Structure 1
């Protein structure tokens, strides 16, 4: 099949239309997480366990002008001793293609359970963090981020 050195024939135009239709139908749509899918992911990790608030600080901007680089700061109050330390912090986003955005692992050698990074948010959404301690306690914090321009949506 020649590729348009001159006007395409009717048969070539029909073939191209068929290929375009097949690609449109067969290409999976980008699905975004929902509050339900985030809950399901959290239940996979901690089904039925009680979560408290207060010791986990989640610092995010209320409005992110650029959804591609949203700053996030996480800090958990903990003595970080061999007997009592933060084992992990998980961060989930309710509107991203994958609900679990990141997991940080800590040890007593870290000295403090804190992290800073920039993450990508596809649209305005709730960000949920869960901290797990070595004693089995769970702490949670939530923050809504409104993504304006520059993100994958708004």
Structure 2
């Protein structure tokens, strides 16, 4: 009977609603994988010679971190202690937005990663892992005779 000046596409609205719900519950995959908002936050990149991984883990003691590389899978695990007192009759925690507890992040490495050439350094809450690429996988120029 009445016609809207702005026709609405019901399927487009349902698609938008589904995207909003997936983002709210963090169920949708992204181009970077499923583990959005994981701890520690990761930056993964590389050069022709190395694979560079940065894990941002402020407040983590070096002794509570564990880095393993097995069969092309890099695992970063550890635990962050809570600096807050436990809740009881005398203490109250009103807001606690900082993650505390055990964590684990897993990164699958490319086939040209050399497991014998790995270094890891922790400085100012940033864990930097550098993995050399195999020399056989490096591009090389071939002389024409």
TM-score (norm 2): 0.28
Q: Which has the higher contact order (CA 8 A, sep 6+)?
A: 1
